[in-house]
């Protein structure tokens, strides 16, 4: 009986198709036209950033290791996480592409498995943004944002990402001057205007008190000093308020 069971198990094993040696972490994402450069860590991060800047969120999702996301949800979750990670990076991390390795092996030292892009601070702790080499279904080896990093995107975005940006039309996140996107420019202009108003109000109050104090003295130089400082005081206080709001 044992021999019969063993023979049946062997026959069944030969009849079943062989299991894949590895699961493709991008299976389920819509295909994109053309090759996606991800041969080196620098190529992968450059592709991700350029795709995000152009609003090509599906292409950007092809640089995310989605192995922890169910295949049936990757088409929806991948582009969304690509967009949300970019919103966090715009706020919290300047990616220095020139410092990332530009060789297929990632210039890794013995025992290393990932390339460190940078850190994002979350509640006083550093959350590393990592790239790791992965094998696709066809056997191609590419560099992707590590599954640990991808898994923490919702948490990072909830704490650090500007949620209102997702409600804006796409060009608010894709149009940029230099490295600053449109919604950030508009925010800077708004902060500058509010800082100017703050400077006018606070400087007016301070100078009014100073004028009353100077009127009680016999000297005239303090009256002249108060009048001279009226304009510079508004500028300095406004600048301090602006820098404080940006920080």
Q: Tell me how far CA of residue 196 lies from CA of 16, 17, 35, 189, 211, in angstroms.
A: 73, 71, 49, 11, 22
More confident residue, 245 or 134: 134
Q: What is the pLDDT of residues 189-238, one digit of tens each?
A: 766 666 666 666 665 666 566 656 555 565 555 555 555 655 565 566 55
Provide the pLDDT for residue 20: 44
Provide the pLDDT for residue 178: 59
Provide the pLDDT for residue 193: 66
Q: What is the pLDDT of residues 7-65, one digit of tens each?
A: 444 444 444 344 344 689 999 999 999 999 999 999 999 999 999 888 899 999 999 99
Q: What is the pLDDT of residues 101-126, one digit of tens each?
A: 999 999 998 888 999 999 999 988 99
Q: What is the pLDDT of residues 118-160, one digit of tens each?
A: 999 998 899 999 999 999 988 999 999 999 999 999 999 999 8
Token code pair at residue 77: 């979750």
- Which residues make Cβ contacts (< 8 Å) with residue 24, sequence separation at least 6? 136, 137
Average pLDDT of the residues of the chain = 78
pLDDT bin (cut points 50, 70, 90) of residue 241 is low
| 163 pLDDT more than 70 | no
Q: What is the pLDDT of residues 63-113, one digit of tens each?
A: 999 999 999 999 999 999 999 999 899 888 999 999 999 999 999 988 889
Collapsing DSSP to helix, strand or coil, 199 comes out as helix
Provide the pLDDT for residue 11: 46
Nearest Cα residue to 51 out of 72, 28, 35? 35
The tally of CA atoms less than 13 A away on the side-chain side of residue 174 is 11
Provide the pLDDT for residue 54: 86
């Amino acid at each position: 009986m044992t021999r019969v069971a063993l023979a049946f198990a062997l026959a069944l094993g030969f009849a079943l198709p062989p299991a894949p040696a590895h699961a493709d972490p991008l299976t389920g994402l819509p295909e994109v036209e053309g090759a996606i450069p991800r041969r080196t860590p620098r190529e992968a991060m450059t592709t991700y950033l350029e795709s995000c800047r152009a609003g090509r969120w599906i292409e950007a999702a092809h640089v995310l290791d989605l192995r922890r996301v169910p295949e049936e949800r990757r088409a929806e979750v991948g582009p969304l996480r690509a967009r949300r990670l970019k919103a966090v990076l715009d706020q919290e991390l300047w990616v220095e592409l020139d410092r990332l390795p530009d060789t297929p092996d990632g210039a890794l030292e013995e025992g290393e498995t990932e390339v460190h892009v940078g850190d994002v601070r979350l509640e006083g702790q550093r959350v590393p943004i990592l790239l790791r080499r992965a094998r696709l279904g066809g056997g191609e080896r590419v560099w992707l944002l590590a599954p640990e990093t991808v898994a923490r995107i919702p948490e990072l975005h909830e704490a650090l990402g500007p949620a209102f940006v997702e409600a804006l039309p796409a060009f608010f996140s894709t149009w940029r001057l230099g490295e600053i996107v449109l919604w950030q420019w508009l925010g800077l202009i708004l902060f500058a205007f509010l800082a100017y108003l703050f400077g006018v109000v606070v400087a007016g109050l301070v100078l009014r008190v100073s004028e009353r104090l100077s009127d009680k003295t016999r000297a005239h130089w303090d009256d002249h000093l108060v009048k001279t400082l009226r304009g510079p005081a508004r500028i300095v206080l406004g600048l301090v308020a602006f820098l404080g709001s940006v920080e």
